[in-house]
């Protein structure tokens, strides 16, 4: 069983390293990342392509194992987790929002949202989830399939899907990367609103400083490391 501990930090990363073995060559994607995120924080991770943002996202989301270092998510040590335990973690502790929405095209918005619940073995939507849907502005679009929704609507459905199992952390990877400015701002407003109203911890990866400015705190990455001095403290 993964080790658990009670901590005010919902994410704690110490000396995290990730090495990919590709074509007989070792590529060091993360080189000793240090990161702490407090419960209820909205943190943006910013950095250029190849800085290791996506690798960090994948490890925090349990999609890939770390090579070495400590990774604690909501008091659970990821180092001790096998593939099966990481799969279970993705069901309940982490909600993903992707740049390309990643909705299943054959299902309606409603079914896309509640499929996540079915996979997690949950039967009922959490109390107040209707309010979340209203806040996201998709209550009257639930019967539509993704192809009948705008990019902004699809991303809001993806956010609803990420939240339906009440995860400890919402991980968003370039959530506005495919949206125009108006829709980007709407989605970012929603994420910030969600964070303020429900205390949802959000870790957003972006290469866009304007998007990052919506977060409480910005963490910069370069060459597989978190820069010592974080830029643009927003701190409401």
Q: How far is the CB of 13 from other proteins (least distance, A)?
A: 18
Helix (H, G, I), strand (E, B) or coil at 151: helix
Residues 85-144 that bind other proteins (CB under 8 A): 87-92, 96, 98, 102-107, 111, 114-120
Query: Smallest distance, Å, CB 71 to other proteins?
Result: 16
Interface map 39-68 toward other proteins (x if CB under 8 A): -------------------x--x-xx----
CB of 90 to other proteins, least distance (A): 4
Q: Give the C-alpha separation, 191 to 3, whole Å.
A: 31
Compare residues 26 and 236 and give the one whose CB is closer to other proteins: 26
| Closer to other proteins by Cβ: residue 116 or 186 | 116
Q: Tell whether residue 155 is a contact of other proteins (CB under 8 A).
A: no
Put the strands of the sheet holding 225-226 in their side by side order: 94-97, 169-173, 201-206, 42-46, 217-222, 225-226
Beta-carbon contacts of 72 under 8 Å, excluding residues fewer than 6 positions away, are 5, 7, 9, 11, 12, 13, 78
CA distance 75 to 1: 13
- DSSP conformational letter for 6: -
Nearest distance, CB of residue 204 and other proteins, angstroms:
16
Encoding tokens for residue 33? 């990342």
Which residues of this protein are in contact with other proteins, per CB under 8 A? Answer: 58, 61, 63-64, 84, 87-92, 96, 98, 102-107, 111, 114-120, 161
């Amino acid at each position: 069983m993964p080790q658990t501990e009670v901590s005010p930090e919902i994410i704690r990363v110490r000396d995290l390293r990730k090495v990919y073995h590709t074509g007989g060559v070792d590529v060091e994607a993360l080189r000793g990342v240090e990161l702490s995120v407090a419960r209820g924080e909205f943190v943006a991770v910013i950095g250029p392509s190849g800085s290791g943002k996506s690798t960090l996202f994948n490890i925090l989301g349990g999609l890939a194992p770390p090579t070495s270092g400590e990774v604690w998510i909501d008091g659970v040590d990821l180092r001790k987790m096998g593939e099966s335990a990481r799969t279970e973690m993705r069901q309940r502790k982490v909600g993903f929002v992707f740049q390309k929405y990643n909705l299943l095209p054959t299902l309606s918005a409603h079914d896309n949202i509640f499929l996540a619940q079915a996979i997690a073995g949950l039967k009922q939507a959490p109390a107040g989830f209707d309010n979340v849907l209203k806040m996201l502005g998709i209550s009257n679009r639930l019967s539509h399939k993704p192809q009948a929704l705008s990019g902004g609507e699809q991303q809001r459905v993806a956010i609803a899907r990420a939240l339906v199992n009440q995860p400890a952390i919402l991980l968003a990877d370039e959530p506005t990367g495919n949206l125009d400015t108006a829709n980007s701002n709407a989605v970012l407003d929603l994420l910030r609103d969600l964070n303020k109203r429900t205390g949802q911890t959000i870790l957003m990866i972006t290469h866009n400083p304007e998007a990052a400015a919506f977060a409480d705190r910005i963490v910069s990455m370069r060459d597989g490391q978190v820069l010592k001095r974080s830029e643009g403290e927003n701190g409401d």
